[in-house]
Amino acid sequence: MQVSSRLSAVRLTDYYLGGAAMPSRIVESLTTTPVMSELFSDQSVLTAMLAFEVGLARAEAGLGVIPASVVGVIEEAGRAELYNADALAADSLRSGTASIPLVKALTERVRAIDPSAAGFVHWGATSQDVTDTAIVLVLRTARDILHADLTRLESALYRLSEQHAGTVMLGRTLLQAALPTTFGLKVAGWLGAVRRNHARLHAGFEEAIVVQLGGAAGTLASLGNQGIAVGHALARELGLRYPEAPWHTHRDRLATLMCAFGVMTGSLGKMARDISLLAQNELAEVTEPAGHGRGGSSTMPHKQNPVGCALTLAAAFRVPGLVATFLSGMVQEHERAVGGWQAEWSTIGAIVQATGLAISTMVEVTEGLHVNIARMRENIDATRGTVFAEQAMMLLAEKLGRDVAYKTVEEAVRESIIARRDFVDVLAGMTEVTGVWDTSLLKTLRSPEGYLGMAEDLRRNLVSEKRREPSG
């Protein structure tokens, strides 16, 4: 399938969502998805770079800066499939940027069609204008792909939380049994984080998706008094916003977006960590969806590994360092930098692809997650009632004072653990307790549903909170 570089603007979302085949790259196989791999492929990047050149010619011709007759020739030569990506990549190592060899190759193709048009290729632009605008065009398509996956993830989490609003489970603090909570509240916490991060990504994309046109030193001098007008026209051609001024060495917009990717991946990593811990055999409260070739072991047929969580956690481990790499490159010299922006392409590509993998993987995990409600109850029962220790202490404190109540309950918990006896039975046999409590009050300590506090109210707060997109 060919992707036209003609665009009245590069809108490649439909092409990428169509599921193009993933290049065979074993080293990268656990770092991206087929759709994201294709988005950052040579063909895609060339398409975006050539879209800049075609869009620039159209914009300038419309303002009379270059002859209108050359536009068709540049469009004809501006098709990505005409260029050898391997040769351009090799030449990029010598020129320091992919745009220089591409502009040279484009100029030669235009010259072969119409020699008089060759002199108007790349008119008034600089190499960084091409690369910066190309990555913005790729990011715009990434935004649409990620938005679709995040919307699907939010829907799956919402359904899961609603389904398990009343499913009681152990809350765990410092990896130890704490108090009863609900699985619905836990899932709603994941949902709230995803929605907040979705809004942050949306805001970051809105700010970062702007055209770059500054010319050699960011003054647009080669375009005379038409520079800003050409910039606006180019932005319209490509469907981008036009910034206040060129941003060659001001990378704050992209940096903010990359940080939003980092926070998103961290939140997804937290979700994956929770699920993988709950999936341990000792807990067995949830299980990832199974399937042919998914989650197996090369030597242990009995295993069902949480591979989705593993991939998401791997992304969460990698992305913070990549974000730090981008931030370190923000310190750029004067009007055009040496080394800073050249480091960004691969860094941005790695961040976006890793985040895309984490999102799509957690969609699959959430939509197919098996929740073992019975096992959740069994794990509560396995504590022999010690999870009601705080409840018992608060009730006793009304009669004995908090300090005495705490020591009394602490002693009962210790005896329950050592003697492997039910906590409430131990408590009922203590003279300090029988003197102030009746049997009916002790019975309230055997129902986890009776000590959930505001869990359902908090869950409803989280699931009812909609993702807010900034205006404008």
> For residue 30, which amino acid is it?
L
The H or E element that residue 375 is part of is helix 373-381
From the list 297, 328, 346, 447, the catalytic residue is 297
DSSP 99-133: HHHHHHHHHHHHHHH-GGGGGGTTTT--HHHHHHH
Phi, psi of 181 (to 5 degrees): -140, -170
Quote the tokens at residue 64: 């009379």
Q: Which of 253, 336, 384, 459 is catalytic?
A: 336
- Closest CA relative to residue 69, chosen from 107, 129, 113: 113
Nearest Cα neighbor of 61 from 240, 216, 233 is 233
Count of Cβ atoms closer than 10 Å to residue 111 Cβ: 16
Contact 154, 467 (CB under 8 A): yes
Close Cβ partners of 163 (under 8 Å, ≥ 6 residues apart): 184
Q: Say which amino acid occupies 160.
A: L
Residues 354, 265 contacting (CB under 8 angstroms): yes
Separate counts of helices (H) and strands (E) for the chain: 19, 4
**Residue 336 designated active-site:** yes
Phi and psi based region of residue 431 (left: phi greater than 0; alpha: psi -120 to 50; beta: remaining): alpha
377 catalytically annotated: no
Instruction: Report the sign of the C-alpha dihedral through residues 186, 187, 190, 191, in that order.
Output: negative
Query: How far out from the chain centre does Cα 136 lie?
Result: 17
Tokens read off for 317: 């481990």
Per residue, the 3-state secondary structure of 148-175, as one string, reads: HHHHHHHHHHHHHHHHCCCCEEEEEECC
Partner residues linked to 182 by β-bridges: 168
Please list the residues that pair with 176 across neighbouring strands.
Answer: 173
Q: Active-site residue numbers?
A: 297, 336
